Chains A and B, each alone.
Chain A
Amino acid sequence: MDWDSILGAIFSFENYGELLVLVQNSIWAGAVLGLLGGLVGTFVMKRDLAFAVHGISELSFAGAAFALLIGADIVFGSLIGSVTAALLLGLMGVRARDKNSIIGVIMPFGLGLGILFLSLYEGRAANKFGLLTGQIVSVDTVQLQALAGTAVVVMVALAAIWRPLNFASVDPELAEARGVPVRTLAIVFMVLLGVSVALSIQVVGALLVLALLITPAAAALRVTSSPVAVVLLSVAFAMTATVGGILLALGGRIPISPYVTTLSFLIYVVCRVVGSVRARKGINGRVLAGTA
Chain B
Amino acid sequence: MKPVVSLTGASLKFGKRALWEDLDLDIMPGEFFAVLGPNGSGKTSFLKVLLGLQDLHRGQALLGSRPVERGSSLIGYIPQQKSFAPDTPMRARDLVGLGVDGHRWGLRLSPGKANRRIDQLLELVGATEYARVPVGQLSGGEQQRLRVAQALATDPQILLCDEPLLSLDLHHQQAVSALINKQCREQNSAVVFVTHEINPIIDYVDRVLYLAGGRFKVGTPEEVMTTEVLSDLYGSHVEVIHANGRIVVVGLPDATTHHHAPTHVLAGEAA
Q: Do A and B come from one complex?
A: yes
A residues with CB within 8 A of B: 42, 45-46, 159-164, 166-167, 170-171, 173-180, 221-222, 224-227, 230, 284-289, 292
A178 and B91 form a contact (CB under 8 A): no
Which chain B residues border A292 with CB–CB below 8 Å?
Answer: 129
B residues with CB within 8 A of A: 51-53, 69-72, 75, 77, 79, 82, 84, 87-91, 94-95, 98-99, 101-108, 128-134, 137, 150
A230 and B102 form a contact (CB under 8 A): no
A163 and B102 form a contact (CB under 8 A): yes
Which 7 residue pairs are nearest across A and B when measured between Cβ atoms? Answer: A179-B71, A285-B132, A167-B102, A225-B134, A179-B70, A287-B129, A177-B77
Known contacts A171-B95, A174-B98, A287 near B130 by CB under 8 Å: yes
Among residues of A, the one whose C-beta sits closest to the C-beta of B80 is A173
User: Among A42, A162, A171, A177, which residue has its beta carbon within 8 angstroms of that of B53?
Assistant: A177
Among residues of A, the one whose C-beta sits closest to the C-beta of B69 is A179
Known contacts A174-B77, A178-B77, A167 near B89 by CB under 8 Å: no
Which chain B residues border A176 with CB–CB below 8 Å?
Answer: 53, 70
Known: A179-B70, A287-B128. 20 other contacts (CB 8 A): A159-B107, A162-B107, A163-B103, A164-B102, A164-B104, A167-B98, A167-B103, A170-B88, A171-B95, A173-B79, A173-B82, A174-B79, A175-B102, A177-B77, A178-B103, A224-B89, A225-B90, A226-B89, A286-B132, A292-B129
A285 and B89 form a contact (CB under 8 A): no
Pairs across A and B, CB under 8 Å, 24 listed: A46-B88, A161-B105, A163-B104, A171-B95, A174-B98, A174-B150, A175-B98, A176-B53, A177-B53, A177-B77, A179-B52, A180-B71, A180-B102, A225-B90, A226-B91, A226-B132, A227-B89, A285-B132, A285-B134, A286-B133, A287-B128, A287-B130, A289-B129, A292-B129
Which chain A residues border B51 with CB–CB below 8 Å?
Answer: 177
Instruction: Kindly provide the distance from the CB of A120 to the nearest chain B CB, expressed in whole angstroms.
Output: 44
Which chain A residues border B106 with CB–CB below 8 Å?
Answer: 159-160, 162-163
B77 and A227 form a contact (CB under 8 A): no
In the docked arrangement, what's the CA distance between A161 and B53, Å? 22
A221 and B71 form a contact (CB under 8 A): no
Instruction: Kindly provide the distance from the CB of A229 to the nearest chain B CB, expressed in whole angstroms.
Output: 9
Which chain B residues border A286 with CB–CB below 8 Å?
Answer: 129-130, 132-133
